[in-house]
């Protein structure tokens, strides 16, 4: 904030001229004396004080408008994120979708029905995302953080979840056929009526997984599953799963 200070009237030039001992200093002293008069005149000009107040007021108005329009800016940001996702639909690569999905999820925007099939989303962070009826078929989600995600009724066929964090995720009625869950973390995951035909579960951590109402598991590879719930391995083998540690990766 600028603080305006009233200046006192400069001394007369004749008094200043007498006090100057060296002639060569006279031009500099004269120039300084002129600027003192300019500063004196401006310090007593009320118009400048009014301009100062108007400047402060304009800053206040700008701050008010900034916060009042914050909702519109958020909506615009979300619109741009959805535009990135929808424009790249069905295409390979990332196409900016990792950042767009993460931004929407951080703002608690439901990602219901999002279609990112065949997308490269390796390492994405979407914990607690609402992905109901989403399409991640053939998407690359290796080493991603998908804890507590809701994949209910989602199409996850042939998706690559190798090494992903899927603890507490819900796969109720989801299609996980031929998905790669090798080495993934599925602690307390829910597989209510899910399809796991041909799914690679080798080395997956199934501690506390809810599996008893699985729809089908034919051809799923359960070799080396870790912390398998009681009865899971025997039930899976009886219903068409295989135990093939050296199957093609």
Residue 196 CA: distances (Å) to CA of 35, 116, 184: 86, 20, 14
CATH code, 90-249: 2.160.20.80
Calculate mean pLDDT across residues 86-99: 90
The structure tokens listed for 73 are 């800016």
The β-bridge partners of 115 are 135
Judge whether residue 206 has pLDDT over 70. Answer: yes
Judged by average pLDDT, the poorest of 18-27, 110-119, 152-161, 220-229 is 18-27
Per-residue pLDDT tens digits for 128-173:
999 999 999 999 999 999 999 999 999 999 999 999 999 999 999 9
Per-residue pLDDT tens digits for 125-135:
999 999 999 99
Q: How far apart are CA 181 and CA 248, in angstroms?
A: 14
- How confident is the model at residue 8, as a pLDDT? 73
- How confident is the model at residue 53, as a pLDDT? 61
Helices and strands of the chain, counted as H and E runs: 6, 0
Judged by average pLDDT, the poorest of 14-28, 70-84, 147-161, 229-243 is 14-28
Helix residue ranges, H only, the chain: 13-19, 26-43, 46-68, 70-87, 97-106, 232-238
Q: How far apart are CA 113 and CA 136, in angstroms?
A: 10
Domain boundaries in the chain?
13-68, 90-249
């Amino acid at each position: 904030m600028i603080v305006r200070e009233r200046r006192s009237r400069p001394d007369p030039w004749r008094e200043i001229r007498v006090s100057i001992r060296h002639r060569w200093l006279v031009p500099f002293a004269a120039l300084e004396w002129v600027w003192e008069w300019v500063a004196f005149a401006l310090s007593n000009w009320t118009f400048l004080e009014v301009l100062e107040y108007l400047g402060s007021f304009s800053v206040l108005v700008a701050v008010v408008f900034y916060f009042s329009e914050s909702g519109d800016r958020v909506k615009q940001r979300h619109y741009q994120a959805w535009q990135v996702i929808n424009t790249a639909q069905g295409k390979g690569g990332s196409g900016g979708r990792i950042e767009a999905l993460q931004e929407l999820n951080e703002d608690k925007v439901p990602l219901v029905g999002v279609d990112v099939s065949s997308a490269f989303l390796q390492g994405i962070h979407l914990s607690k995302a609402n992905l109901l009826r989403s399409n991640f078929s053939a998407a690359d989600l290796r080493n991603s953080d998908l804890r507590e995600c809701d994949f209910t009724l989602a199409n996850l066929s042939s998706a690559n979840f190798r090494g992903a964090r899927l603890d507490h995720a819900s796969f109720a009625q989801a299609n996980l056929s031929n998905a790669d869950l090798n080495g993934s973390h599925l602690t307390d995951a829910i597989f209510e009526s899910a399809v796991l035909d041909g799914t690679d579960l080798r080395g997956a951590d199934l501690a506390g997984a809810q599996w008893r109402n699985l729809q089908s598991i034919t051809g799923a590879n359960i070799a080396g599953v870790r912390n398998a719930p009681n009865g899971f391995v025997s039930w899976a083998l009886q219903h068409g799963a295989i135990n093939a540690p050296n199957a093609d990766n």
